[in-house]
Amino acid sequence: MNELPNYEQRQLDRYEDVGSVEVYDTNSDRFLGRLVNVHEAGLMIMGEAPIRADHVYQLELFWPSRKDPRGHIQLGVDCLWVRQSDDDSNPMCWAGCQIIDLSDSARDQIAMLISP
């Protein structure tokens, strides 16, 4: 398990008011969890599904929105760190990912998702 990053060293603002965005691993058709925050270069996921650090994922993000009728984004990420809950009765984990593959239209959709 990788250590959590030093949050004081972050260079980009995280947008946490992204609504209810579900995250799926398209290679395994597995629900990974929900989007916690996102920015132009990365995102954080929270869920019960085990996610591996130092692993590349092809993700699809789904959300109900009138802002974007397409309502989903596909992108590739590298999972940089994972933190498991210390509470055995709550098997949640958090994963921080760097976006490594993003189309221009997906970039526009992220901008729309995080716009007020």
Give the pLDDT score at 69.
56
Query: Which tops the pLDDT comparison, 100 or 108?
Result: 100
pTM over 0.75? The answer is yes
What confidence score (pLDDT) does residue 100 get? 97
Structural element, H or E, at residue 105: helix 104-114
- Tell me which range, 2-11, 21-30, 64-73, is most confidently predicted by mean pLDDT: 21-30
pLDDT digits (tens, 9 = 90+) for 12-47: 454 445 568 899 999 999 999 999 988 888 999 999
Any long-range contacts for 6-12 (C-beta under 8 Å, 24+ apart)?
12/39, 12/40, 12/41, 12/42
Q: Please report where in the chains the tokens 């058709």 appear, as a residue.
A: 29
pLDDT at 114: 73
- Predicted pLDDT of residue 8: 43
Q: Which of 3-7, 71-75, 77-81 reaches the highest mean pLDDT? A: 77-81
CATH architecture of 19-114: Beta Barrel (2.40)
